[in-house]
């Protein structure tokens, strides 16, 4: 999930100041972590500690205010009785990366991704965006090449991944839906030559830059790994609590120490639709 956090931090200064170029300081002045990082860490905490997901998301939101949370999500977090609000926004995809590292197989990837999304993003497109992102990460982690990943994501999720990054850059605009964020972010990862190139692709197309780069970064981490210098810089932006969650998460991944029955309110045979 560190790749997603890196993408968020790098993209944080371009969300409302799009840069249609790959030439920029990788960690620019005034970069910071946003809601993408906060909720990514919250999902990792939920996965490793068997916490209540709704309360965990809300807890992190209140503890780290002013991080550009979406309006509907912010209202949801304030409620005592939190109900899904049928969103198909890209928030479900931006926070899902940890799922792919914890799950043991693709069925669990799909089920955990759905569980992580549907507490807020219960619209089919919101769930699909989270599942597609997590599937791409899992496939990359398992050693699939870009061509195989492109075909599998297209077949399962009916996303159009035929455009190149250069094509997308010509027309892309600010959009916060899964439908107009996830396919473009996946393409930015699949066309990349290394981790940094993937993030530069994501920033260069414009749009909701921190979230596009977070989704791309999660996939690129599984494809290429995060270079040590970038990893160190990313960690320097984070509070101690986040570092502790990240370390605990890494240990759980290594030991495969997760109680799935406590996490999944749905069958693990989710079909991905």
- Entry pTM: 0.93
CATH of domain 2-14+32-263: 1.10.4080.10
What is the reported pLDDT for 35?
Answer: 98
Length of the chain in terms of residues written: 273
Check: CB of residue 137 under 8 Å from CB of residue 172.
no
What is the reported pLDDT for 166?
Answer: 98
Cα–Cα distance between 138 and 131 in angstroms, integer?
10
Cα–Cα distance between 153 and 131 in angstroms, integer?
10
Who's near 254: CB < 8 A, 6+ residues apart?
none
Q: What is the mean pLDDT of each run of 10 residues along the chain (273 residues)?
A: 97 94 96 98 94 96 96 96 96 97 93 97 98 98 97 97 97 96 98 98 98 98 97 97 95 72 48 42
What is the reported pLDDT for 256?
Answer: 72
What is the reported pLDDT for 228?
Answer: 96
What is the reported pLDDT for 270?
Answer: 42
Place of tokens 């997603």: 4
What is the reported pLDDT for 50?
Answer: 85
Quickly list DSSP for 12-42. Answer: TTTTTS---SS-S-SS-TT----HHHHHHHH
Q: Any idea where the domains of the chain sit in the sequence?
A: 2-14+32-263
Question: Considering Cα of 83, then 86, then 87, then 92, what sign does the dihedral take?
Answer: positive
């Amino acid at each position: 999930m560190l790749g997603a956090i890196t993408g968020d931090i790098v993209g944080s200064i371009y969300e409302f100041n799009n840069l249609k170029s790959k030439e920029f300081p990788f960690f620019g002045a005034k970069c910071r972590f946003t809601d993408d990082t906060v909720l990514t860490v919250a999902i990792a905490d939920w996965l490793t500690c068997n916490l209540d997901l709704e309360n965990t998301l809300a807890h992190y939101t209140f503890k780290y205010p002013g991080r550009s949370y979406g309006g509907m999500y912010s209202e949801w977090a304030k409620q005592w009785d939190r109900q899904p609000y049928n969103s198909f926004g890209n928030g479900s995809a931006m926070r899902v990366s940890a799922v792919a590292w914890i799950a043991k197989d693709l069925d669990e990837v799909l089920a955990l991704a759905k569980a992580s999304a549907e507490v807020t993003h219960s619209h089919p497109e919101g769930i699909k965006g989270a599942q597609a992102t997590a599937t791409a990460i899992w496939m990359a982690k398992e050693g699939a090449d870009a061509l195989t990943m492109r075909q599998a994501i297209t077949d399962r999720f009916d996303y159009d991944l035929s455009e190149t990054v250069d094509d997308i850059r010509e027309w892309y605009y600010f959009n916060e839906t899964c439908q107009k964020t996830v396919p473009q972010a996946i393409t930015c990862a699949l066309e990349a030559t290394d981790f940094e190139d993937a993030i530069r692709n994501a920033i260069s197309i414009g749009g909701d830059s921190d979230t596009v780069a977070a989704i791309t970064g999660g996939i690129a981490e599984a494809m290429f790994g995060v270079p040590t210098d970038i990893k160190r810089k990313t960690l320097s932006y984070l509070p101690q609590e986040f570092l502790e969650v990240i370390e605990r998460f890494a240990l759980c991944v290594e030991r495969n120490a997760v109680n799935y029955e406590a996490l999944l309110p749905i069958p693990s045979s989710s079909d991905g639709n």
